Amino acid sequence: MGQKVIHVLNGPNLDLLGQREPAIYGHQTLADVEALCRAELDGRDVGLIFRQTNAEHEMVGWLHEARIGAYGVILNPAAFSYAGYPILDALKMCDCPIIEVHISNIHRRDEPWRAQSIMTRSVTAIFSGAGIDGYALAVRHLLQIERRKAA
């Protein structure tokens, strides 16, 4: 059996992280997020696939890749959170833990619809409002889930 892999999948507009609404999302870039995730896995026998897309069909394809045998999925669905039903269906087919991450606290945002993520129905846990540290927390949580399984 090959190395276990965590898939970190990022939705629309996160390619502009650091530029888009920095008062809400901060000044760190997606490259900073990836470096943070890789640092959490340093010295561990767990790989990382880190991706971002603005296309729903591409996200669905990536979830199909992760569907069987992944160590876990960390998903920041971004705007897919509110109408990405094909992504929700793909999540339901995954046999691994799934952590939903939002950089901002979606429950404190001015637009009430932001608190209504449809993805929440099929995820293991949610980190919302911890900035990019939410990704590191998600990686640590996946490692903890696996440790508990092994015990």
Known catalytic membership, residue 85: no
What are 98-117's pLDDT values in tens digits?
999 999 888 787 777 777 88
Query: Higher confidence at residue 131 or residue 23?
Result: 131
The model's pTM is: 0.94
Determine whether the annotation assigns residue 114 to a binding site.
Answer: yes
The pLDDT of residue 150: 84
- Residues in contact with 3: Cβ distance below 8 Å, sequence separation at least 6, in sequence order: 45, 46, 47
Q: What is the mean pLDDT of the chain?
A: 93
Q: Which of 25, 71, 82, 107 is catalytic?
A: 25
Determine whether the annotation assigns residue 106 to a binding site.
Answer: no
Q: Which of 7, 64, 82, 102 is catalytic?
A: 102
Asked if pLDDT for residue 1 goes beyond 50, the answer is no
State the average pLDDT over residues 67-89: 95
* Residue-range domain boundaries for the chain: 4-150
CA atoms of 29 and 18, how far apart (whole Å): 5
Query: Higher confidence at residue 151 or residue 38?
Result: 38
Determine whether the annotation assigns residue 103 to a binding site.
Answer: yes
Known catalytic membership, residue 141: no
As a whole number of angstroms, the longest Cα–Cα distance in the chain is 47
How far are the Cα atoms of 42, 88, 92 from residue 120, in angstroms, in the given order? 29, 9, 11
Q: What percent of the chain has pLDDT over 70?
A: 99
4-150: CATH superfamily = Dehydroquinase, class II (3.40.50.9100)
The pLDDT of residue 112: 73
